[in-house]
């Protein structure tokens, strides 16, 4: 049978708070440093006769292109 460790509840709370704080810091960093123009997504192709699979594929392709543009230096 594996050996189970009992962790202190205070230690778990400290780690939980640290994870939340790290997430908030990451969100703040992303908001202040990575701003992009939402007009890069071309939504002019959305009509009533548009196939939803083609629409999702086009949006994902544009999201990938945007990601590549943001991360390529």
What are the structural domain ranges in the chain? 9-71
Cβ–Cβ under 8 Å, residues 39 and 62:
no
Pairwise CA distance, residues 11 & 15, whole Å: 6
Whether the predicted model's global pTM rises above the 0.85 cut: no
Mean pLDDT by 10 residues, the chain (73 residues): 69 93 93 75 67 83 85 76
Pairwise CA distance, residues 21 & 29, whole Å: 12
Sign of the torsion angle spanned by Cα atoms 10, 13, 17, 23: positive
pLDDT for the residue numbered 68: 86
The H-or-E segment that residue 9 falls in is helix 9-33
pLDDT for the residue numbered 25: 96
Pairwise CA distance, residues 63 & 56, whole Å: 10
């Amino acid at each position: 049978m594996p050996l189970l460790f009992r962790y202190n509840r205070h230690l778990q709370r400290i780690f939980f708070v640290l994870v939340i704080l790290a997430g908030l810091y990451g969100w703040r960093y992303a908001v202040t440093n990575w701003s992009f123009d939402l007009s890069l997504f071309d939504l002019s192709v959305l009509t009533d006769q548009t196939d939803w699979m083609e629409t999702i594929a086009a949006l994902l392709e544009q999201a990938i292109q945007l990601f590549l543009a943001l991360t390529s230096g």
